[in-house]
Amino acid sequence: MSSKLGLKHIQAIAPYVGGRPISEVAREYGLDESKIIKLASNENPLGMPQSAYDAMLVAANDLGRYPDSNGFELKKVLSERLGVPTDWVTLGNGSNDILELAARAVAQLGDDIIFSRHAFAVYPLASQAVGARSVEVAPKASYGHDLPAMLKAVKSSGDKAKLVFVANPNNPTGSYLEPQEIEAFLLALPSHVVVVLDEAYNEYLAPAQRYDAIAWVKRFPNMVLSRSFSKAYGLAGLRIGYAIAQPELTDLLNRIRQPFNVNSLAQAAAIASFQDSAFLQKGYEVNRAGYLQLTKAFDEMHLTYLPSAGNFVLVKVGDDDQAGARVNLALLKRGIIVRPVGNYGFPEWLRISIGLSEENIAFINAFRDILAK
């Protein structure tokens, strides 16, 4: 293709690269797929809840027809549980879709979009896609968002500032923002700037860490709350997420989303899983136990890791810029897939998704052996 085709800001985008699929690793290294362990993409190790599977089977009987473009039944369930009108809800093809819709709805060529360094890779991608300037703000020493510094960046941008992405917990660091920090930021943010509070890992927060983000949406008309069914609800393969915002913003998001962006199976599974409190609680308990399992091993190995409020742990595996890639390759050859994070500015680290107990043990044993050599 000629280099003259396409807009320059689109040509400059480096496409998002997800965690490697099990089938791909099996082909490349001649491994048995059934024995490969994937701890790379922060997926739910319990898989999909049975309730969602059963709901999908029923929905499969009508796949010859288009899905409900407005997602009436799912929006109704979300509305009733979250205490917001249905016209405050936008459905997305994963919460990734919500992030991109937000950028497209409020920013354009020449505008500024602000986010923290070491935050989700889609934030700069969504910014580039609309031709906006990515304003990356240095984090705290703990690698968490520095909200006062981000606010300063917003004010320095003036009228060019249109959107801020804030993740809580943050991926890939797992850092957590106290609710009073977020509220102070929301109060100080200029009203012409939209803030997306990305809560893809919200369900993994400990009870003492939880707060009422919906109450903020009701107070701040320039706020979008983004959540996902991919993680705690186990529906990563179905690609479904949602946003909560006041009608002015919701109207913008719905004007530019694809008319059938969430398929029928995903809607049915989301309705069932959202009401499956037993599955959600079990997932939380498995995650907390797995976190202790991994971090205990890291402590015993005298490794540096970041405290995480999500379903993953970022661990330092060496002191040189090739350490992450080197250890990752050694793990791949043993049939264990984790996530190198050099693209996030952590070439010496690996992000380990928390798996089932036996998966964590297999990783720990291989990891110990690799680092001992």
* 2 has pLDDT over 80: no
Do 174 and 302 belong to one domain?
no
Does 202 reside within a domain?
yes
Average pLDDT over residues 208-214: 97
- Provide the CA 245 distance to its chain's centre, in angstroms: 18
Does 131 reside within a domain?
yes
Domain-ending residue, one of 252, 274, 296: 274
pLDDT category at 213 given cuts 50, 70, 90 is: very high
Do 135 and 197 belong to one domain?
yes
Query: Which DSSP category does 132 fall into?
Result: P
* 4 has pLDDT over 80: no
Do 40 and 63 belong to one domain?
no
Nearest-CA neighbor of 350 among 293, 298, 287, 285? 298
Average pLDDT over residues 237-265: 97
Listed in sequence order, the residues at least 6 apart from 32 whose beta carbon sits closer than 8 Å to its beta carbon are: 26, 335
Do 75 and 112 belong to one domain?
yes
Q: Write down the H helix ranges in 60-94.
A: 72-82
Average pLDDT over residues 64-86: 97
Does 7 reside within a domain?
no
Do 173 and 92 belong to one domain?
yes
Does 142 reside within a domain?
yes
Segments forming the whole domain that contains residue 209: 50-274
Domain-ending residue, one of 215, 247, 274: 274
10-54 pLDDT, tens digit each? 777 777 677 888 999 999 999 999 999 999 999 999 999 999 999
Q: Put the strands of the sheet holding 339-341 in their side by side order.
A: 312-316, 346-353, 339-341
Per residue, the 3-state secondary structure of 211-251, as one string, reads: CCHHHHHHHCCCEEEEEECCCCCCCHHHCCEEEEECHHHHH
Q: Bridge-partner residues for 341, per DSSP?
A: 346
Do 346 and 239 belong to one domain?
no
Does 318 reside within a domain?
yes
Phi (first) and psi of residue 212, to 5 degrees: -100, 85
* 200 has pLDDT over 90: yes
The SS3 call for residue 203 is helix
Residue 19, pLDDT score: 80
Q: Using CA atoms, how far apart are residues 164 and 103, in angstroms rounded to an integer?
A: 9
Give helix then strand counts, H and E, for the chain: 14, 12
217-245 pLDDT, tens digit each? 999 999 999 999 999 999 999 999 999 99
Asked if 295 and 313 count as a contact pair (C-beta separation under 8 A), the reply is yes
Per residue, the 3-state secondary structure of 118-165, as one string, reads: CCCCHHHHHHHHCCCEEEEECCCCCCCCCHHHHHHHHHHHHHHEEEEE
Domain-ending residue, one of 274, 289, 306: 274
Does 5 reside within a domain?
no
CATH number at residue 36: 3.90.1150.10
Q: Bridge-partner residues for 315, per DSSP?
A: 305, 350
CATH number at residue 113: 3.40.640.10
95-113 pLDDT, tens digit each? 999 999 999 999 999 999 9
Do 39 and 62 belong to one domain?
no
* 137 has pLDDT over 60: yes
pLDDT category at 5 given cuts 50, 70, 90 is: low
* 91 has pLDDT over 60: yes
* 1 has pLDDT over 50: no
Q: Using CA atoms, how far apart are residues 15 and 337, in angstroms rounded to an integer?
A: 20
Do 150 and 43 belong to one domain?
no
Residue 3, pLDDT score: 56
Q: Is 131 exposed, middle or buried (0-12, 13-18, 19+ CB in 10 A)?
A: middle
Domain count, the chain: 2
Average pLDDT over residues 115-135: 96
The pTM for the full model equals 0.94
337-373 pLDDT, tens digit each? 999 999 999 999 999 999 999 999 999 999 999 999 7
Do 188 and 324 belong to one domain?
no
- The tokens describing 270, both together, are 């989301």
183-199 pLDDT, tens digit each? 999 999 999 999 999 99
Q: Using CA atoms, how far apart are residues 119 and 105, in angstroms rounded to an integer?
A: 21
Strands 89-92 and 241-245: antiparallel
Does 9 reside within a domain?
no
The percent of residues above 90 in pLDDT, for the chain, comes to 94
Does 10 reside within a domain?
no
Do 334 and 269 belong to one domain?
no
Do 119 and 30 belong to one domain?
no
What average pLDDT does the chain have?
95
Do 268 and 288 belong to one domain?
no
Lowest mean pLDDT among 2-16, 80-94, 157-171, 212-226: 2-16
Average pLDDT over residues 57-75: 97
- The tokens describing 347, both together, are 């070439």
Query: Which DSSP category does 321 fall into?
Result: T
Nearest-CA neighbor of 116 among 181, 175, 186, 183? 175
